[in-house]
Amino acid sequence: MTMLFSPYSLGPLELSNRITIAPMCQYSAVDGLATDWHMIHLGSLALSGAALITLEATAVVPEGRISPNDLGLWSDAHADALAPVLAAMRRHSPIKIGIQLSHAGRKASTNVPWDGGAQIGPDAANGWQTEGPSAVPHTEGDAAPLALDAAGLARVRDSFVAAARRAHALGFDAIELHGAHGYLLHQFLSPLANHRTDAYGGSLENRMRYPLEVFAAVRAAVPSMTLGMRISATDWVDGGWDLEQSVRLAQELERIGCDFIHVSSGGVSTAQKIPVEPGYQIGFAERIKRDTGLPTIGVGLITEARHAEAILQAGQADVIALARAMLYDPRWPWHAAAELGAQVSAPPQYWRSQPHEFKTLFDTTHPGKG
């Protein structure tokens, strides 16, 4: 059996293979509520043969949305909108389902990418005042965020907890806290965004304090769930957050009950210079895995089955995350299994589609239905 199609466990969550679909913003919600787009988009990917899918960055408060069209989970109404989407996925697929809980911090209140992605000012009808660790805008010309005070820190932390409880009640299999890509928790970690002089700024210990407090509070609220964090291992800017600090953070997260680290990079500064190439972030996952023993999810321009297999064989990561490659080819796991001589789960309605030369591709002993 190939490693890519071997089982693996992230904490209490047992995966049938090591392919996960990474969170990908869809900017298709209405007032944070899931729509029919989520039904068809997530439904399609649920039939892919991947072991796990994690829903897009889901805001824990309205002002934590990246755009006005972001998904949210800050009320019971938002949970109710997601419930039929999850129910449909469960009826027709054995895929495990996670959710990424997020707060965009100073990078909130922006247009959707296909409308340019620029910040929407707080005085605009569809914009709002952003908040962050410090009153430092993300880019020149942006409105400065409000620096969170003690009450604001508690409010945001409690909102993560409330959203996590809703996710648990909905039956999600895993929660990933978004501590990457320049959003709020990453902003606290990076000295490029965090200019505080109190207990939450300055030293590495202080900059890690708030993300760790949020994680610990969520862990206490959902003690039986698989819970991890996505991090940016480096800011790709001199003087910013880097791999050595990421190792320290991962060690602290492991100590307070983290089940996995999803290792990405960048996003906090427009000065970043990223040497993009296939697997360009895998070395970061490898280092964190080696120095902490935490299960790592590796991501970053991984598009070929043999490349994914090689990463696992070399011990550089434990699970492979795919994002844009899955949008381009929603049956990527099928094609990878065919190439590597493995089997994959597929719905029985699709069994007759397997090519003659791959007549054992689908596992017909376990119908692809939850």
Which residues does 214 contact at the CB level (< 8 Å), separation at least 6? 156, 157, 160, 177, 185
Q: What is the 3-state secondary structure (H, E, C) of 255-324?
A: HCCCCEEEEECCCCCCCCCCCCCCCCCHHHHHHHHHHHCCCEEECCCCCCHHHHHHHHHCCCCCEEEECH
Catalytic residue flag (residue 183): yes
228, 177 Cβ separation under 8 angstroms: yes
DSSP assignment letter at 110: B
- CA 67/CA 77 separation, integer angstroms: 19
Q: What is the largest CA-CA distance in the chain?
A: 66
**Active-site residue, selected from the candidate residues 8, 27, 183, 200:** 183
Place of tokens 């693996």: 8
> Whose CA is closest to 51, among 288, 295, 321?
321
Written as one letter, the residue type at 201 is G
Task: Encode burial over 96-107: b for 16+ CB neighbours within 10 A, e otherwise.
Answer: bbbbbbbbbbbb
Q: Which residues are catalytic?
A: 183
